[in-house]
Amino acid sequence: MSTQIQEFAKRLKLSWIREHYQEIEATSNEEYLLKLFEKEIEQREERKTNLLLTQASLPKVNGKPFDWKDIVLTAGLSSEDLLNGVFMEQQENLIFYGGVGAGKTYLATLIGLNAIQRYGKAVKFYTAASLVNRLLEANEKGNLNKLFKQIEKLDLLILDELGYIPLHKQGAELLFQVISMCYETKSIIITTNLQFGQWNHVFGDPILTEAVIDRLIHHSHLIVFKGDSYRYKESIIQN
Ligand SMILES: Nc1ncnc2c1ncn2[C@@H]1O[C@H](COP(=O)(O)OP(=O)(O)O)[C@@H](O)[C@H]1O
Ligand SMILES: [Mg+2]
């Protein structure tokens, strides 16, 4: 009988039940079934979360609580809202602006982690440069559509370090396509060290820059990171 149970569980894709059904103790049929279902669901959710985490390629975090002291939030958006990804409910965007080491990447990563772990959202982290490279490469190989489809499935796209390197014409245009594709259908977090007035240096072309900013700013929150470099502060404290 047990081989048949295992066979049926396999056909029904109940992998936890297939391996562990004998370990469950219960005093009634109902309780037994309930416990089986509970465990199966629990394991499925865990697997889904792990998959989402792998796909997101978020940077590692050190587990330190986030220090909000030097972060300027927009009205009506609390730090809790940010961490809970409330902006994602309306497909709004976040622009993180500030100097190096002020916590932009760290906060974007924490928001991404929460979105996955608390809400099962699909997240992807790229540096702007790495996404542009992927886009150019995919375009050259003729599988741009495949990459676009992957991006289309996301709830949250994190674009880190926009502005550190100027983009070539084609790269800028492809990045614009991605930003347009995300417009009003998903959320983007962009971290940057450049004010909007200087984005021209990244995108190269004033019309394209205006179009990018237009799509991003509409439905977005600007968060300013005013702190000095945290790494620098910590290295002073430690020495
Ligand atoms: N506000 C903050 N609260 C806690 N840790 C911070 C904060 N800002 C920076 N850090 C620490 O400094 C490191 C560097 O910050 P990072 O997010 O990479 O800066 P940025 O992306 O703005 O250059 C982080 O990994 C984190 O450990
Ligand atoms: Mg950073």
Determine the average pLDDT of the residues in 87-112.
Answer: 96
Residue 239 pLDDT grade (very low, low, confident, very high; cuts 50, 70, 90): very low
Rounded distance between C-alpha atoms, residue 212 and residue 112, angstroms: 23
pLDDT digits (tens, 9 = 90+) for 180-212: 999 989 999 999 999 999 999 999 999 999 999
Question: Do the Cβ atoms of 111 and 82 come closer than 8 Å?
Answer: yes
Q: Which residue has the tokens 């290295």?
A: 235
Q: Tell whether the model's pLDDT for residue 17 goes beyond 90.
A: yes
Asked if the model's pLDDT at residue 233 lies above 70, the reply is no
pTM of the model: 0.90
Q: Which CATH architecture has domain 71-238?
A: 3-Layer(aba) Sandwich (3.40)
Q: Give the start-to-end residue ranges of the domains of the chain.
A: 2-55, 71-238
- Those residues with Cβ within 8 angstroms of residue 52's Cβ, 6 or more apart along the chain or in another chain: 116, 120, 121, 122, 123
Question: Which residues, 6 or more positions from 122, have their beta carbon under 8 angstroms from its beta carbon?
Answer: 52, 55, 56, 116, 153, 154, 155, 156
Mean pLDDT of 132-151: 97
Residues flanking ligand 1, CB < 6 Å: 62, 64, 66-67, 98, 100-106, 191, 225, 230-231
Residues in the chain: 239
- Atom 7 of ligand 1: nearest residue by CA position: 103
Confidence at residue 187, expressed as pLDDT on a 0 to 100 scale: 97
Q: 202 and 208 in contact (C-beta within 8 Å)?
A: no
Residue nearest to atom 2 of ligand 1 (CA): 67
Instruction: State which ligand 1 atom lies nearest to the alpha carbon of 67.
Output: 3
